[in-house]
Amino acid sequence: MRVELTAEIKRVAREHLASDGAAALSLRAVARELDMASSAVYRYFSSRDELLTALIVDAYNSLGEAVEAAEASTRRKDMRKRWGSICHAIRDWARANPHEYALIYGSPVPGYAAPPDTIAAAIRVPLAMTTILGEIDAAETSPPARPVPSRLRADLDALIATLGSTISQDLMIRGLMAWTYVFGAISFELFGHRHNVVHDHETFFSVEIDRIATFVGVQ
């Protein structure tokens, strides 16, 4: 029942997140909604930051699961479809959970520092993307590599190793850029920078990720 109430607290906290944003998330409000004393919450989370961290880890995992599920249910051979399914899964999740998206990809919550526990959860999307890059690299369908500054080589090698991949440094750069692009586009849409500029966000997103797929070298 301890597990159950912990989940219940997180559920209500997520609701508050969704209506007021992370900065306004308050232990007292959550406790009030659960009809318990605010002090009782401290039996489950020793501080507001600990609750916030739990929500962040949950958000990364929820996004990661959505992406992995979408990618897994797409035909293996169709690289472009697999790439698209990942990108659309990210966007769909973000639109369904805008405040959780803002929590992990928006401006950092002031005074809050994410502990390293979040890394394993945060890496799931990049991992899914890298898997596809590995396959296109093996198929040697990539566009010609462009020079990589020597000052970046060590970081790129470390990153490739962390992701358990064997892709080239050049492709790793393109992968990082694709990752950057997808979240940049979703942030622009969700944070209002395309308001009154683009109306059919769905179609525009499809065009974007299609062009980025070509840019990366996904056939």
- Contact residues for a copy of itself (CB under 8 A)? 20-21, 23-24, 102, 105-108, 110-111, 114, 146, 148-149, 151-152, 155, 159, 173-174, 176-177, 180-181, 183-185, 187-188, 191-193, 197-200, 203-204, 206-208, 211-212, 215
Distance CA 204, CA 200 (A): 6
Picked from a copy of itself, DNA, none, the partner binding residue 204 (CB below 5 to 8 A depending on kind) is: a copy of itself
36 binds DNA (CB under 7 A): yes
Instruction: Tell me which amino acid residue 116 is.
Output: P
Give whichever of 55 and 172 is closer to DNA, judged by the CB atom.
55
Q: Which option in DNA, a copy of itself, none does residue 29 bind, with CB closer than 5 to 8 A by kind?
A: DNA
Closest separation between CB of residue 18 and a copy of itself, Å? 11
Nearer Cβ to DNA, position 39 or 141? 39
Q: How far is the CB of 30 from DNA (least distance, A)?
A: 8
Q: Of 47 and 203, which has the nearer Cβ to a copy of itself?
A: 203
Within 10 angstroms of residue 154's Cβ, the number of other Cβ atoms is: 9
What's the CA angle centered on 197, arms 192 and 202, to 5 degrees? 75
Q: Does 12 bind DNA (CB under 7 A)?
A: no
Residue 175: CB partners within 8 Å, gap ≥ 6? 126, 129, 130, 133, 167, 216
Helix (H) or strand (E) holding 210: helix 201-216
- 61 Cβ partners below 8 Å, 6+ apart? 121, 124
The CA distance from 165 to 143, in Å, is 19
- Assess contact for 194 and 188: CB atoms under 8 A: yes
Q: Which does 5 bind (CB under 5 to 8 A by kind): a copy of itself, DNA, none?
A: DNA
Q: Does 5 bind DNA (CB under 7 A)?
A: yes
| Cα 121 from Cα 127, distance rounded (Å) | 10
Site residues for DNA per CB under 7 A: 2, 5, 25-29, 32, 35-40, 42-44, 47-49
